[in-house]
Amino acid sequence: MRRFTKKTTLSTLAVALLTVAGIGVTVVARTMAQDLEEPVRIGAICNDGWESSATGRGACSHHGGVMCWEYSDGTCTKVRAGCKSDCRDDYDSELESCKSTYDDPDDADELQQCIQNATDDYESCIKECDS
């Protein structure tokens, strides 16, 4: 038999009432996230001021990108300006380096590996920007 604490019962009741009242998924997610110990991403504020309840890629795709990610503890973590363009610049630079280092046709395998490493670094950089 599960024991309900006052906090759990009140939180569950609040979620139920908010859902029935049609206040929205964002409020429900925020209420549920507050019961967790670690803050959880609950939405985004876009560069044009739009507030989105989306928590991942594409959250502000039609609003100029994410300005900051909102968390259940009330914080809003700013996204580094220009982060993704920095990743792209580094990637382009690495590709040029690969091409100039492995310019002999006999170096095709090394060139391919160098390009793959540059691509992996770029994808990792983009993920860092999004987190």
**Residues 21-49 pLDDT 10s:** 555 555 555 555 455 578 899 999 988 99
Answering whether pTM is above 0.85, one says no
**Residues 61-81 pLDDT 10s:** 888 888 888 999 999 888 776
Three-class SS state of 101? helix
User: Would you state the structure tokens that stand for residue 84, as one six-digit string?
Assistant: 């993704």
pLDDT > 90 in the chain, percent: 35
Q: Cβ contacts of residue 28 below 8 Å, gap of 6+?
A: 15, 18, 19
Q: Any idea how long the chain is?
A: 131
